[in-house]
Chains A and B, each alone.
Chain A
Amino acid sequence: MRRVVVVLVCLAATWMASPAQAGVIAPQDAAELAQTLAEAQEEQDICYGWNVKNNFDAYPDIGSSVDGPDTPLEVYGERQCRRGYIELTGSIEYACDSCDASDSASVSIQSSFPTAPTHDDLEALGLNADDLTGDDDDTTLINMVSALPLLAADRGIAPYVAYEPATEVPAADHATGTPGSDVLRDRWPLLVFCGLLIVGGPGFYFYKRYQGS
């Protein structure tokens, strides 16, 4: 029953946030993310949130398991967060076209737990702050925030959120896109180097021959 209430509060908060705010994450995705965190809070009794500022949008990416999207996590004085909180914070800075500086981003994890996960844990999962300036910035940020309950469980702070495989999938739904070759993805530096050797060998031969003639 409590979970239903939390979910309804998140959905209501989303509906009332008009006009919908948006930074990197689209409003609908932010609402789903907050709902996911609310369910994790229900299972783990930990408050989760995200607060990522940027210099390209009127609104930062903000949300929490307590109040849904668009509202920062209030960690003090909230009855729900007595056990503790974990929040992803950061910033995304796009450089101007005429500037020498390049786009940059950084993230960190704020928490009341001394053994809380860190930025390094996100990087170990391949979730790098630099990707927040790329085409998949929204997916990267969603993955980072979604990972917080998992990393908390990995650290022994809370139990794992249950993994629930799908039982029924609409017939029309399927994976799209084609992953490229696994070999090329893993070994492209070696393959490029070998390719240069193959091209460079004859090139070197003809260069020396031309010099000698």
Chain B
Amino acid sequence: MKTYKIIAIVMASVGVIGIVAAFATHGSVREDIADTYRFTGEEAAPGGGGTKTKTYASPKPIAATAADIIDEHKPADRRTTEAGTFLRYREDVVSVVPPARGQRGSRILVDDEAGGYHRNYGYVGGFWGTYSGPAGSFRGGGPGSGK
């Protein structure tokens, strides 16, 4: 077999293996948070939805915790507010918020998309979707919609 034929086969094979590996080894943000942070419990889904909220504790402050999560999983959209950082993924919403009174670090809440929008409506409403709350405006439209 000629050398260039072998090189061509190797190139194409590495490409195929790389794509398969990229998808097969990519964990969801939900899984990575469960693996990385201390699980502290579950809460009823906001708005009576089906998927319960999972809560975790991080020893780091809010911005550092959010930065760690963003480093591993780039969100489709993000909202940083005075009370927390909110990250939107395809199926999950991650909220990094202050710890309980008297504790250090930060608290991480993982919801599905509907639950996360409901829970954080006061912060992400109008940015990630419709908002008819007080003095509200429609600004967003979600990822990719532009201004």
Task: Give A contacts to B, CB under 8 Å.
Answer: 26, 28-29, 31-32, 36-37, 39-40, 121, 124-127, 135-139, 143-144, 146-151, 153-154, 160-166, 169-170, 172-183, 185-187, 190-191, 193-202, 204-205, 208-209
Encoded as 1 (CB less than 8 Å from any A CB) or 0, chain B from 129 to 144 comes to 1111101010111111
Question: 11 A-B contacts, Cβ less than 8 Å apart?
Answer: A124-B67, A125-B85, A139-B139, A139-B140, A153-B98, A163-B83, A166-B46, A180-B143, A182-B76, A190-B18, A201-B13
Is B23 a contact partner of A183 (Cβ separation < 8 A)?
A: yes
Contact indicator B26/A177 (Cβ below 8 Å): no
Q: Are B73 and A186 in contact (CB under 8 A)?
A: yes
A160: which B residues are within 8 A, CB to CB?
62, 83, 98
Bound Cα distance A163, B107 (Å): 11
B98 contacts across to A, CB distance below 8 A: 153, 160-163
> Using Cβ atoms and an 8 Å threshold, which residues of chain A touch B29?
182
B15 near A198 with CB under 8 A, answer yes
Tell me the nearest residue of chain B to A177, going by C-beta: B142
- In the complex, given contacts A40-B82, A147-B81, A150-B63, what are 4 additional A-B residue pairs having Cβ atoms less than 8 angstroms apart? A126-B67, A150-B62, A150-B80, A172-B132
B14 interface residue (CB < 8 Å to A): yes
Q: Contact string, B109-129, partner A, CB cutoff 8 A, digits 1/0?
A: 000011001111110010111
Total inter-chain residue pairs, C-beta < 8 Å: 227
Residue-wise interface mask of B (71-114) relative to A, using a CB-CB cutoff of 8 A (1 in contact, 0 not): 01111111111111100111000010110000000000000011
Give Cα distance in the complex from A124 to B137, angstroms.
28
Select one of B2, B72, B82 contacting A150, CB under 8 A: B82
Q: Which B residues are CB-close (under 8 A) to A196?
A: 15
Chain A nearest CB, measured from B77 CB (Å): 7
Chain B residues whose C-beta falls within 8 Å of the C-beta of A195 in the assembled complex: 15, 19
Residue ID in chain B nearest A39 by CB atoms: B82
B142 cross-chain contacts in A, Cβ below 8 A: 175-179
Chain B residue numbers with a CB within 8 Å of A185 are 74, 76
Choose among B16, B66, B147 the residue that contacts A136 (Cβ–Cβ < 8 A): B147
Determine whether the beta carbon of B118 is less than 8 Å from that of A166: yes
A173 and B121 in contact, given A163-B97, A190-B18 (Cβ under 8 angstroms): yes
Q: Is the CB of A175 within 8 A of B114?
A: yes
Report how far A166 CA is from B84 CA in the complex, Å. 14
Nearest first, the 9 A-B pairs at minimum CB distance are: A177-B142, A197-B15, A201-B12, A179-B76, A201-B11, A205-B8, A160-B98, A194-B18, A198-B15
- Give Cα distance in the complex from A150 to B66, angstroms: 12
